[in-house]
Structures are given as C-alpha cells and as structure tokens.
Amino acid sequence: MKTMCRSVAASVVVAALLAAAPASAQAGNDVKCLLASNLFAKAAKDPKTRTAAEASKLYYLGRIHGRLNAAQLKAELLAQQKAISAKTAGAIMNGCARQMESGIKMIQGVTQQIAPKKK
C-alpha cells in the first residue's frame, strides 16, 4: 500500500512539473503574441480586427511588463520575430486570441465568485 501511495504521489508530482511551462517559455510566447498583435493592429483593414488586435497587444504588453528586463525583452523580441511570417501570422494570432480569451474567462469567473450576492 505504501509503495502504491508513493507511486501515485510521484506520478502527480511529475505530471505537475510537466504541465507547468517554464517562465521563460511563457514569456517567449507572450512576446510572440505581442508581436503578432502589433502586426495585425497595424495591417488589418477591418476596424473590428484592428480593435481586437489593439486589445490583444495591450493584454500581452501587460503580461510581459515586470517579467522581463530590457535585455531579456530585446533577446525575446529578436528570437520571436523569426517565428512570425506571412504564412504563420494568422495561426499565431488565433492561438494568442484563444489564450487571451481563456485568461479573461478565468478572471471573470473568479470575480463572479467573490462578488457580493444580490438580495
């Protein structure tokens, strides 16, 4: 029984470690999303697309601020700009939009849980 409990505990720890992306990977993704958002904010012809891209740009700017110093930001910008091309920009932006939407839903859910109940 003790062996089984240790095995289960070890499996849980390994799963948690694998599920958590390193902070540097998260920052890299956020910088890539900032770049994609900026690209779409400047290039989109449709006003709604531009507005959504501007909102996304601010979201990812907020995620990056305070996590990276100037040198780290420069390195990430140089690395991530290589990942975005005309062929990949749409898919990257869609992924970034889904990530932003997930974050917004999580925040809305938490605030609804702590909001005072109406009588």
At 18 the pLDDT is 33
- pLDDT score recorded for residue 9: 37
28 contacts 80 by C-beta, under 8 angstroms: yes
Residue 60, sorted as left (phi over 0), alpha (psi -120 to 50) or beta, turns out to be alpha
pTM of the entire predicted model: 0.74
Q: Residue 3 and residue 10: Cα distance in Å, rounded?
A: 10
- In a structure prediction context, what are the per-residue pLDDT tens digits for the chain, which is 119 residues long? 444 334 333 333 333 333 444 566 789 999 999 999 999 999 999 999 999 999 999 999 999 998 999 999 999 999 999 999 989 999 999 999 999 999 999 999 999 999 888 77
Six-digit token string for 59: 């979201």
Say how far apart CA 18 and CA 95 lie, in whole Å: 21
Q: Is 106 helix (H, G, I), strand (E, B) or coil?
A: helix
Residue 35 CA to residue 110 CA, distance in Å, equals 29
pLDDT at position 34: 96
Instruction: Give the length of the chain.
Output: 119
What is the DSSP code (8-state) at residue 115? Answer: S
